[in-house]
Amino acid sequence: MTKTNKNIVVEVTQLMNNAATENDLRAINAWIIMRLKQERNLKVAVLKNDLKVGMLVSWVGRKGRGEGRIIKINRTRAQVAVGFTTWNIPISMLNIAE
């Protein structure tokens, strides 16, 4: 984290500590969630442009690290062949395998 980011974190923390009401905290939380969604959507848009059918991809899920080949790219998920199984994996979880 850069010095500027640390300053922002300190300022936001102070604002949260000084928030007068529960509604203030809910508003701060809503803003944070909105920013996280924006960042995730941007990452997905960039990655989706780079993904092609037949590419080897990897991801980390509940069952650990996985690797497979893209069969189809949908709006928010990609169908990935892993052995004899096909998984529907969110694009945000995929990494291009090397």
pLDDT, one tens digit per residue, over 46-93 is: 888 999 999 999 999 888 999 999 999 998 899 999 999 999 999 989
pLDDT of residue 68: 96
Measured CA to CA, the distance from residue 92 to residue 41 in angstroms comes to: 8
Q: Which two tokens stand for residue 50?
A: 């780079």
Measured CA to CA, the distance from residue 10 to residue 93 in angstroms comes to: 30
pTM of the full predicted structure? 0.65
Q: What is the mean pLDDT of the segment spanning 13-21? A: 78
